[in-house]
Amino acid sequence: MLRSMTGYGHGEAQYLEKRFAVEIRAVNHRYREVMVRLPRHMMVLEDRMRKCVQEYVLRGRVEVYCTVEEGKGRANTVKVDKNLAVAYYKAMEEVRDYLGLSGDIRIEHLVSQPGLLVMEDPGGDPEEWWPAVEDALRQACRGLVAMRETEGAALRSDVAEKVSRLEALVQDISVRVPEMVRIYQERLNRRIEELTGGPLVDPARLAQEVAFFAERSDISEELVRLNSHLAQFEHLLDAEGAVGRTLDFLIQEIYREINTVGSKAQNEIITGRVVDFKGELEKIREQIQNIE
């Protein structure tokens, strides 16, 4: 099933007096990148959390946030780094004296310094918390996947509709190729008559010139490849796994073929169809940037 690369998931789990909450946010990214943000005392769980998320996500930038709340029976405490407080105070005194400033060093000057006041790490072993953390994490991952699949279904529907329009444009170009040669022959015949002031002298020469034009402007191979690429594109819309990069590659190939058609076809109507084709193709290219 096609998936978007953006999404959100949330999960919660309880272990004794601790409640763990996990949030996951995902956005577009060329590759897979999982960032896990944890309280310092839970850093030991970072790697296994990252590996767990990678089971659900194949592509995109994913940020994982985990918080822990203590039960009512346990009060949070704050530690003071006394040695650091002394060091900050002496440094401030030195700066004040060196610059010849006046004024006292107050408590608010000290407590605003980084690292001076820190939340005390709660007691307990993070290894014992892992089953609950994993439970909350997998809840969040499943929620993320569900949202990605919902958005992916909407993307698939929109892109499939646009691909159908591209196929119709290719078909319209195909049926106009004989007309392109006929129009060139009539135009050439009129031009020769204008220059010579009379009927065409050598029909064989005109036929040869038309044959050269038909060969130079032959776009049959490009049209065959376009139809093949579009059919493959439709197939990938229903494929499993991360297909976004493959679709992006196909877009580049389709651009190459339609550009060749535009440069070869010397016909105003076909040129107009090529412009329409490129417009739809650009819309598809923008959409697939968000496909996993």
Task: With beta carbons less than 8 A apart as the criterion, state whether 284 and 157 touch.
Answer: no
Instruction: Give per-residue pLDDT as tens, 151-198.
Output: 999 999 999 999 999 999 999 988 877 766 565 555 655 665 555 565
Residue found under tokens 């499943």: 142
In a domain, 256, yes or no: yes
Instruction: Give per-residue pLDDT as tens, 194-222.
Output: 555 655 555 665 555 555 555 555 677 88
User: What CA–CA distance (Å, rounded) separates 137 from 132?
Assistant: 9
Same domain, 158 and 199: yes
**Is residue 38 pLDDT above 70, yes or no?**
yes
Residue 269's pLDDT band (boundaries 50, 70, 90)? confident
User: What CA–CA distance (Å, rounded) separates 132 from 204?
Assistant: 87
Q: What is the pLDDT of residue 255?
A: 93
In the predicted model, what is the mean pLDDT of the chain?
84
Q: What is the pLDDT of residue 262?
A: 83
**Is residue 126 pLDDT above 90, yes or no?**
no
Q: What is the pLDDT of residue 33?
A: 93
In a domain, 259, yes or no: yes
Same domain, 139 and 222: no
Same domain, 23 and 89: no
Same domain, 113 and 228: no
Q: What is the pLDDT of residue 121?
A: 55
Instruction: Give per-residue pLDDT as tens, 279-291.
Output: 999 999 999 988 9
Same domain, 200 and 257: yes
Instruction: Give the HSE-up count for residue 71: Cα atoms under 13 Å, Cβ half-sphere.
Output: 8
**Torsion region of 191: left, alpha or beta (phi above 0 gives left; psi -120 to 50 gives alpha):** alpha
Same domain, 267 and 279: yes
H or E element in which residue 150 lies? helix 126-196
